[in-house]
Chains A and B, each alone.
Chain A
Amino acid sequence: MSLRQKLLLLFSLTIAVTVAAVAWIVLLRIRHVFEQRDQEETTLFVSQFQREFQSRSAEVAASVQRIAESDRARAIAVEFAQTGDPAPYVNEAQAMAQEAHLDFLELIAPGGEIVSSAQWPARFGYPEPEAIAQAGASFLKREDLPDGSQALGLFAIHAVRTGDRPLRILGGEKLDPAFLVGLPVAPGMTVGLYADAQSEPAQKPSAEFDSRQFIAADGPVANAAAYKPLILSTLAAGRQSTSILYLTKSREESLNVTAIPLKNKAGQPLAALTVAISRGGMVAAQQQIRTTAYGVASGGMLLAIVFSLWIAARVSRPIEEMARASGAVAAGNWDVTVQERGHDELTVLARSFNHMTAELAAQRERLVQTERVAAWRELARRLAHELKNPLFPLQLTVENLSRARQLPEPEFDEVFQESTRTLGMEIANLKKIIGRFSDFSKMPRPQLERIDAADLVERVRALYATACGENVILQTHVADGPMPLDADPELLYRALSNLVLNAMDAMPNGGTVTISAKPAGSAIELTVGDTGEGLTPEECERLFTPYYTTKEHGTGLGLAIVQSIVADHAGTIAVESHAGSGAKFIISLPMAGA
């Protein structure tokens, strides 16, 4: 992965994570605000609803009080106090309840027995447990009905003031759909009433949930089962509780429901009034905001990526140029420079790099100059040395010949003959020396062709097998199979011959010269080894230096030529030697077609 890609990825990830985090926090905050607002709205509705409920309770209490203070009730009380006969009033409660628009009404004797009952006329004479309740305040009560059912009602009791033992009026309004219809309901709000269907009011709230007992103003509450946990917990705890109910998996189909326990005088919850407010509008608004936020975030991320691309390109371009320039320097091109832009650290780096390459180039030039001078010096020294050897005999021969001019002719002839022979030999020697230097300077470029290493080894062996003499043994080891090389056969032959001759020179007392060829991976190894005295480590290091020789009359160009030929074939040459165990030259050439 390139620097630009890394930078792009880093910038993009950073921006994406930042945008996502900001979006998440914003959405969370919006959701929190919406829900808080929804909760406040629910609380407002619930408190308004509770005020209305209390108002209705007060209305019931007022109705009962009006009945108790009516002339009719007083007349009944007076008559009943005199006669104690409930018979004349058996239907009286019904008429009174009808006039007062109450669902429940009972006239209760001072002893607590029912004199007349609107909801259950046949109950006359039976005791009414709530007869001892304090007058005025309304309360909840579960009322038994003739058909065996029970009805929850909002009751109030009031005494008819006619003496020491007053008649009591117990009246109430049934908490049924009709009651719920009269309550104030805001749009999207549903009021439900769950009356616990237990038989005995003294019992604790039932743990079972009967959805048939859960009614709204327009009949049974839809999705009643969803309310079950909230209602049961409210009834069990006896405290108002609020919860969000999800009717389906969709958040829009959810309700913010507040359950209010309706308790009797003993504080026992008899029913739960639920105020459900739809969260559809709020969720839809949240959804719209979320969609907008996602759109903005996506656009922002896209812009951020484009911007990151630009930034990454701007930041990485000098570094990439620097990397390319470094690669070029590493490849030997020290003349490369990088462009300097601006005044930042990268510009400083580029300037330093340019300065560095310039210095390197200058130093290389100086080194080349130095090496060139040294080479010329070495060449001059070597030439002087090489040429001095034959010149000295030449000088002596010419001086001897000049002195021999005074000798008699026969002797002069003998000296002349000897001198001309010596002059010829030394001149030939000079030509030879000059030819070697000429050869080194005129090293031809290899003419590559497909050859087999085995053929090359065989050609060398065939030449030197007879020239080795009696005390030198030449042996070859060639691996089976093809060992193709794209090489100049003449140059390689020359290189191998040079190595074989060196090996033979290294064994003046005889030994074994071994030539071998074998594949080594994607290369072919050609080895020439001897069993001579071997080389010291210092000699091994300097062996391929031009004009370096360990021979008495060597020019020091043989191994330099071998190394040059091997290098021209994209190969390498190495030497392995240990003192007293001979030396081994290993030429590694790339296998053709590998």
Chain B
Amino acid sequence: MPQLPALLAGDEFLISKIQEAKPDGGTGPFQVSGFVNGVLTLSANDFSWQGRPFLDAVQIRVHRAVSDQWMDFVAGRVDLVEVPAERIRQAQQQHLPVVISPPLEVMALQLEDSGALGTPALRSAIGYAIDRGALASVIFQRQGIPAAALLPQNVSGFAFLFSAERDLNKARELRGVGAPPALQLEADGDGAPQLAAQRIVLNLREAGFTVQMARAGAPSSPMRLRLLPIESADPAADLAAMARAAAVALPGFNSDPAAVYRAERDLLDRKTLIPLLDLPRAYAVGTRVRDLQLQSDGMPDLAAVSLEPSR
């Protein structure tokens, strides 16, 4: 399994025992030193193999709403906050210093290949019915890129494997003349993904599908809007992770670009994972933060960051 090291390095295989965290645990630049009231505290590791970081400690407040993060940021209580893709434009309009990664998250529609969506043509019709341009330009405020492949161009090296343009006539043609099955769509996360899901519902209704949003607590829906992260710079590993996340079994392939292309092509032909948008990761960075770089997975590299003293 050529992607095994990258696979093991992924978040889904992360092993952590926060309750038993000790200051001397791990070999990275920071060690977990506490997790109290939703605040994770990382302390500098003097013995990191990369060398001791500039920051003595980092406090990360988890599960905090974006609007609250922004209030904290504007008030100067924090130095780094997340900026969802759909709010990058708003942050920029508010003259917040924003660091934006290349597209490292794929918004895709995962379809069941059985039951109501057992017909590939029907799944293909769904792909044609969705207006990626509206999703990218309006909902994600031009920060998303309509996806014409599973892997973003900056990861795979090629821009498209199919046309990302909406073709409503084609969608209607593939849907057929019969009464379409009643479908439900659920979406991961809230905010923009939910809005995007609502838009997709509208697009599909326009194409003649009978779709509505799944209610909270409803059983598993045949359609699910997913955000699939790109966690490494290895396209093969990323594709394998996508297939795994979509519960699709792909035959083994190596990191050869041609093999990755075939595997991606194979995955797309199944019409069970329809890529919609490539989204970046972004952060608003305080003015006293120096030398912040984003890693290949879009996460900030805190080991290289330094802070200017508060004025």
B52 is an interface residue with CB less than 8 A from chain A: no
A residues in contact with B164, CB < 8 Å? none
The smallest beta-carbon distance between B277 and chain A, in angstroms, is 14
9-residue interface stretch from A115-123, A406-414, A446-454: A115-123
Query: Please, how many angstroms separate the alpha-carbon atoms of A123 and B198 in the complex?
Result: 8
The distance from the CB of A31 to the nearest CB of chain B, in whole angstroms, is 51
Query: For the side of the interface on B, what is the size category?
Result: 10 to 19
Report chain B residues within 8 Å CB of A123: 198, 202
Which chain B residues border A122 with CB–CB below 8 Å? 139, 195-196, 198-199, 201-202
CB within 8 Å of B: which A159-186 residues: none
Given A120-B198, A121-B198, A146-B201: A87 touches B213 (CB 8 Å cut-off): no
Q: A87-B137, A87-B138, A90-B138 are in contact. Are A148 and B198 (CB under 8 A)?
A: no
**Chain A 47-106 interface residues, beta-carbon cutoff 8 Å to B:** 85-88, 90
The answer to whether A90 and B213 have CB atoms under 8 Å apart is no
Q: Does B3 contact A (CB under 8 A)?
A: no
For A147, give its contact among B89, B137, B138, B213 (CB under 8 Å). B213
Instruction: Give 1 or 0 for each of B168-193: 1 = CB within 8 Å of chain A CB.
Output: 00000000000000000000000000
Whether B213 contacts A146 by the Cβ 8 Å rule is yes
CB distance from B187 to the nearest CB of A (A): 11
**Interface 1/0 per residue, A118-139 and B, CB below 8 Å:** 0011111110000000000000
Q: How far is the CB of B201 from chain A (nearest CB, A)?
A: 7
Interface residue from A88, A120, A125, A146 paired with B134 (Cβ < 8 Å): A125
Q: B195–A121 contact, CB under 8 A?
A: yes
Most chain B beta-carbon contacts within 10 A, residue among A85, A121, A122, A148:
A122
Chain A residues in 8 Å Cβ range of B201 = 122, 146
A5 to B196, CA, bound (A): 97
Contact B137 A148 (CB under 8 A): no
**In the bound complex, what is the Cα–Cα distance between A22 and B193 (angstroms)?**
78
B142 interface hit (Cβ, 8 Å): yes
Give CA–CA (A86, B198) in the complex, Å. Answer: 17
Q: Give the contacting residue for B213; candidates A88, A125, A126, A148; CB below 8 A.
A: A148
Contacts of A126 in B (CB 8 A): 202
Q: Is B101 interfacial (CB 8 A cutoff)?
A: no
Q: What is the minimal beta-carbon distance from A506 to any residue of chain B, in angstroms?
A: 128
A122 and B137 CA atoms in complex are apart in Å by 12
Determine if B139 and A90 form an interchain contact, defined as CB atoms under 8 angstroms apart: yes
Question: How long is the Cα–Cα vector from A490 to B297 in the complex, in angstroms?
Answer: 159
A120 to B202, CA, bound (A): 10
B63 at the interface (CB under 8 A from A): no
Q: Which of B83-139 contact A (CB under 8 A)?
A: 89, 134, 137-139
Whether a CB of chain A sits under 8 angstroms from the CB of B215 is: yes
CB atoms of A147 and B202 under 8 A apart: no
Q: Which of A85, A125, A146 contacts B198 (CB 8 A)?
A: A146
Min Cβ gap A504→B in Å is 131
In the docked arrangement, what's the CA distance between A85 and B139, Å?
A: 12
- How many whole Å from A119's CB to the nearest CB in chain B? 11
Whether B212 sits at the interface, judged by CB under 8 Å, is yes
Q: Hey, which chain A residues are within 8 Å of B195, CB to CB?
A: 90, 121-122
Closest to A89 in B: B138
Q: What is the minimal beta-carbon distance from B310 to any residue of chain A, in angstroms?
A: 33
- Decide yes or no whether B141 CB sits under 8 A from chain A: yes
Report A290 CB to chain B, min CB distance, Å: 54
Q: Is the CB of A87 within 8 A of B142?
A: yes
Chain B residue, CB-CB nearest to A90: B138
A276 CB to closest chain B CB (Å) equals 32
**How distant is B192 from chain A, measured CB to nearest CB, in Å?**
10
Nearest CB in chain A: distance from B16 CB, A: 36
Q: Which residues of A contact B198 (CB under 8 A)?
A: 120-123, 146
Once the chains are docked, how many angstroms separate the CA of A199 from the CA of B292? Answer: 54
Chain B hits for A148, CB < 8 A: 212-213
Residues of A within 8 A of B199 (CB): 122
For B141, the chain A residues whose CB sits under 8 A away are: 87-88, 90
Expressed in whole angstroms, the Cα–Cα distance for A120 and B139 within the complex equals 12
For B197, the closest partner residue in chain A by CB is A122
Closest to B140 in A: A87
Could you say which residues of chain A place their CB within 8 Å of the CB of B212?
A: 147-148
Chain B residue with minimal CB distance to A86?
A: B138
29 CB < 8 A contacts A-B: A86-B138, A87-B89, A87-B137, A87-B138, A87-B141, A87-B142, A90-B138, A90-B141, A120-B198, A121-B195, A121-B198, A122-B139, A122-B195, A122-B198, A122-B201, A122-B202, A123-B202, A124-B134, A124-B138, A125-B134, A125-B138, A126-B202, A146-B198, A146-B201, A146-B213, A147-B212, A147-B213, A147-B215, A148-B213
Given pairs A90-B141, A126-B202, 12 additional interface contacts (CB within 8 A): A86-B138, A87-B89, A90-B139, A121-B195, A122-B139, A122-B201, A122-B202, A123-B202, A125-B134, A146-B198, A146-B201, A148-B212
Top 6 closest pairs, chain A to chain B, by CB: A148-B212, A122-B198, A122-B199, A87-B138, A146-B198, A90-B138
